[in-house]
A and B are shown apart, each in its own frame.
Chain A
Amino acid sequence: MSMEIVTAGPMLSVQDAGRFGLRHMGVASAGPIDSEAMTLANALVGNASADAALEFAGPAGSFRCTRPCRIAVAGADCSIRIDTRPVPTGESHRLLPGEKLTIGRPDGAVWAYLAISGGIDTPLILGARATHLRFGLGGMQGRSLKAGDVLPLGEDHPDAPCLRPGSPLTGHHPFNESGPIRLILGPQDNAFAPDIVARLTKCIFTVTPQRDRMAMVLGETTLPAANGHDIVSDGTVPGSIQVPGSGMPLVLLAESQTTGGYPKIATVASVDLARLAQMPVGAEVRFALIGATEGEDLWIDRRHRLQQVIAALTPKTEQVFRSEYLLSCNLVGGIFNPKEVMRPVMQHRKDTRTETRDE
């Protein structure tokens, strides 16, 4: 019951929902940069949202499983092949033992997620499986994955159906929104003169190549502080916008340090943090200011909408069964009702990228 990493891309790691309640001990949550995308990938293979999956930036790599499983990729469109057969992003597929799954880079975004039914069952470290790369915690010995790694998989239900969204998703992400990234001023906006704070909404920022799971640096517009860039260190959160001496804003992400000594001019609204982190290098970023209460309202609404997307997932028709698959399903034992699985799914939007379906 395991998955072998046949080849690994440059940034491939085990992530689950993350570690909580340990920030006072200096431990960031880690976990996915885009938790909504990972939740969708997990749901497509019947996993709970907290189950461990793989996060990747750049090409993911290739994989083999020792048992039949369902796999799904979400977060961004990626080229996916099972052996030589192309299959679409944003819905789940069966992967049989011996078949090679190959996944390319996220198109037009940065972070994407590969979920495997049953979840990845690496040991819990400080209560979670999420990899904290900087401090070497969790996942596979605290590091990104490499060729030859073998990941244990959790219990699976081999007769459960493959799923797809009830209605089409743009870009294989549950929420593909546009418009400015919303910010909440503070906690140290008063360290900046009013005309510098005004730059946040008047000027354009760009995504620079300086980015990882800890933070992303923005360019084009600088934000010099009125009286230097050192403060008495205080607490940070993912989304904190720190401004070091360079004046270039640094947006903290899932793996950021828990305290920092730079003034934080604003915090990215939870509803928009993943969208910002998914912007490719060179993308232009515009900001808009909202209040904390509005941020809470937007975030609560978003989480309800995510639950609706998950609840609306629909079994796919799997009309062409290969013999190995039928054998693995134990049809004779009556565990598996073909009528259930052959039930027609809702009419799906025709997408040029998904013409080669495996059904």
Chain B
Amino acid sequence: MNDPMTPTLLPCGDCALVIQLGETVDAAVNARVTALAGALEVAAAAGSVAGVQDIVPTYRSILVRYDPMQIRGGALGDWLLELAVRPLSTSGQGRYWRVPCLYGGEVGLDLDELAEMKGLCPEEIIALHSGTDYRVYMIGFAPGFAYLGGQPEILHTPRLPKPRQNIPRGAVGIGGQQGNINSVTGPSGWRFLGWTPVRSFDPDRDEPFLFRSGDQIRFYPISAEEAQDLDARSAAGEIVIAPEAMPT
């Protein structure tokens, strides 16, 4: 096995390459992924490489799509490896968001069962879930869908054997060791303990996407009335939360 930080190129067809920085879900590896993806974006925007169409950071690797009419994979791979071994600062990356969450209720339908499974009361589950800083490890699966890492171990819960069909946008859930915020309504096998009126994806908004990989998220409980008010403002196209200073 390679040193987890030794960059490795993986083939991904004739229009994409993957540069992999590790094999596991790990905050340090992901911080390096975020930093390298940022450096690639800056370099591509500055025109130091042509033909790059997409830079997709994930947990432990970055997928780069390219147009072979403009750059060959061989040359792009050399350039990626060269950038990946340069020193990159991983400090000060990402933004810090405090995200309101209405725990339990119609959307957080698994809260009570989850508490029973863990031998805790629902209030303790809420305290655990809202007492943690989560890292956005990646955006994927659906538009604006944030995969959250850093969940307290006691909250780790396997996915349901059979996915449910209509989990609403804004549902806050747990799948294995990861957390999430549903960005669109759809089927999901995750367990849900709450709902946020914050819309992480709205194609009609000037800023359609809210979160980026490398951001940090902390949930805080709100009442049904507050949720209703924030939802009405979200429906009107307002982004109802703003990034805050990263806690030290």
**Chain A: residues with CB nearer than 8 A to chain B?**
20-27, 125-126, 134-137, 184-188, 232-237, 239-240, 257-259, 264, 267-270, 292-293, 295-296, 298-300, 303
CB-based closest 10 A-B pairs: A235-B63, A295-B14, A259-B140, A267-B13, A187-B10, A186-B11, A296-B68, A235-B56, A23-B54, A234-B58
| A257 to B142 alpha-carbon distance, docked (Å) | 7
Contact B15 A234 (CB under 8 A): no
Given A26-B143, A187-B12, A233-B58 in contact, is the A292-B73 Cβ separation under 8 Å? Answer: yes
Residue among B11, B53, B72, B183 making CB contact with A26, cutoff 8 Å: B183
Across-interface contacts of B58 in A (CB, < 8 A):
232-235, 259
Given A26-B144, A135-B184, A258-B140 in contact, is the A296-B14 Cβ separation under 8 Å? Answer: yes
B92 at the interface (CB under 8 A from A): no
| A257 to B56 alpha-carbon distance, docked (Å) | 12
Return the chain A residue nearest B69 by Cβ: A300
Contact A292 B56 (CB under 8 A): no
CB distance from A128 to the nearest CB of B (A): 11
Across-interface contacts of B59 in A (CB, < 8 A):
232-234
CB distance from A299 to the nearest CB of B (A): 6
Surface stretch bound by A, among B16-24, B107-115, B235-243: B16-24
Contact B60 A126 (CB under 8 A): no
**Chain B: residues with CB nearer than 8 A to chain A?**
10-16, 18, 20, 23-25, 37, 53-63, 65, 68-69, 72-74, 138-145, 147, 183-184, 186, 201, 203, 208-209, 213
Contact B14 A184 (CB under 8 A): yes
Across-interface contacts of A234 in B (CB, < 8 A):
18, 20, 58-61, 63
Residue among A21, A264, A296 making CB contact with B53, cutoff 8 Å: A21
| A4 to B16 alpha-carbon distance, docked (Å) | 40
| A21 to B208 alpha-carbon distance, docked (Å) | 14
| A139 to B164 alpha-carbon distance, docked (Å) | 27
| A264 to B58 alpha-carbon distance, docked (Å) | 15
Across-interface contacts of A184 in B (CB, < 8 A):
11, 13-14
Across-interface contacts of A270 in B (CB, < 8 A):
13-15
Residue among A136, A257, A267, A303 making CB contact with B11, cutoff 8 Å: A267
Contact A269 B54 (CB under 8 A): no
Return the chain A residue nearest B26 by Cβ: A232
CB distance from A254 to the nearest CB of B (A): 13
Across-interface contacts of B23 in A (CB, < 8 A):
232
Across-interface contacts of B60 in A (CB, < 8 A):
232, 234
Residue among B18, B37, B56, B208 making CB contact with A187, cutoff 8 Å: B18
